[in-house]
Structure 1
Amino acid sequence: MILDSVDNIEFYKSFNADIYEGLQFIKNAPVDIALGEYPISANVKALVMEYETKIDNGFGYEAHKRVIDIQFPFIGKELVKYVTLDKLSAYTAYDEVKDVTFYRTTEPESEVVIGNGIYGIFFPIDAHAPQHCYSNMPEYIKKIVIKIKVT
C-alpha cells in the first residue's frame, strides 16, 4: 500500500506509466465530474462514485487479484482500514467477473485517511476496507477509484 499526496504525482511518471495515467486523471478531473466509468487506456479505467461513509462498512475487507486500486475522495475524507491477506480468511469465493474476494473483519494493521489531497494505492496483496468515516460522523464522499490491470 502507498499513501501519497496529489502534489507528488510527477514522481510516478518514472515509476509506472499506468499508475501515472490514473493519477493524471485524478489530478485533472473537475469537481463536477459525472458519476460513472471512464476508460483511460487499455489497462486503466476510472470509476467515479459517491456515498456516505459509515462506522461499519458492512462488508469487511476486499482484495483484488487482477487490479491495483487507487482510491481518492476529492470531496470529503474517508478512513480505509488495511491488512495483508495472510492475516485474513475469506467469507466469499473469488468472483472472477468482479475480481474481488471479501474477507472477515479483523483488527487492521493500519488505518489511513484519504481525501483532502491524499490518495491510497492498494495492490493485490493489500486487503482494504473502505467506506469508513474517519470521525464518528458519517460524511458524504465523492470519490475516484482508478483500476489498473495487473499483467
Structure 2
Amino acid sequence: MIIDKLENLPKYVNDRDILQIVKEYINKEKGEYTINEKTILKRVYSTTKLSDVAKIESHKFHTDIQIPLTGNELYYIYDRENVSEYTEYDVEKDVVFYKKIGKKKCSVWVNIGEFILLNSNEIHQPQIALRNIATIEKIVLKVDERI
C-alpha cells in the first residue's frame, strides 16, 4: 500500500503518462474507459458507508489506484488472518469479498490531491465514512499486473 500526493504517482507506476491520463479523465462522465491493454480507468460516484456495511475486498491480478476527486475517504487494511472469504473469487471482475473475523491492521485517510495504491492481494475496505455518509467522486485505475 502506498499513499502519496497525486503529483508523485508516476514514481510508482510504469506508465509515465499516467498523470496526463488522469487529468484527461477528471471531467469525463461516470463510466469505464480502457486506457491500454493493461489499464482500465473507472470514473465513479460512490457513497461512503459505515464500516460494518462497507465491503472488504482484494484482487488477484490488479493493482487498484484510487484517487478522490470530491470528498475524502477512509480505508481499512486487513491481514489475511483477520478476515475470511465469504464469496468465491470472481474471475471476470478479479475480486473476492471477505468478512471481518479480527481487527483491522490500520486505517488510512485519503484526501483530495492524494492517491492510494493497493497491490493485488492487499485486503482493503474502501468507502468508509469517517463522520457523515456522503457521495464522493473518484477515479479508480485498475492496472493488470500480468502484462
TM-score (norm 2): 0.87
Q: What amino acid is the match of 1:150? A: E
Q: Distance in 2 between matches of 1:146 and 1:17?
A: 13
Q: Distance in 2 between matches of 1:2 and 1:23?
A: 16
Matched, 1:89 2:91: no
Residue 139 of structure 2, aligned match among 135, 138, 144: 144
Unaligned runs of 5+ in 1: none
The alpha-carbon distance between structure 1 residues 42 and 6, as it changes in their structure 2 partners (threshold 3 A), is same
Identity %: 31
- Describe the SS at the equivalent of 1:56: coil
| 8 A Cα contact 2:9 2:18, kept in partner | no
The alpha-carbon distance between structure 1 residues 66 and 83, as it changes in their structure 2 partners (threshold 3 A), is same
Residue 98 of structure 1, aligned match among 90, 93, 107: 93
Deviation at 1:54, TM superposition (A): 1.3
Q: Deviations over 1:40-63 (max 9, x none)?
A: 111001011102211136253100
The residue number in structure 2 matching 1:50 is 45
The residue number in structure 1 matching 2:63 is 68
Matched, 1:117 2:89: no
| 8 A Cα contact 1:73 1:144, kept in partner | yes
The alpha-carbon distance between structure 1 residues 138 and 78, as it changes in their structure 2 partners (threshold 3 A), is same
TM-score (norm 1): 0.85
By percentage of residues, which structure has more helix? 1
Residue 26 of structure 1, aligned match among 5, 11, 22: 22
Unaligned runs of 5+ in 2: none
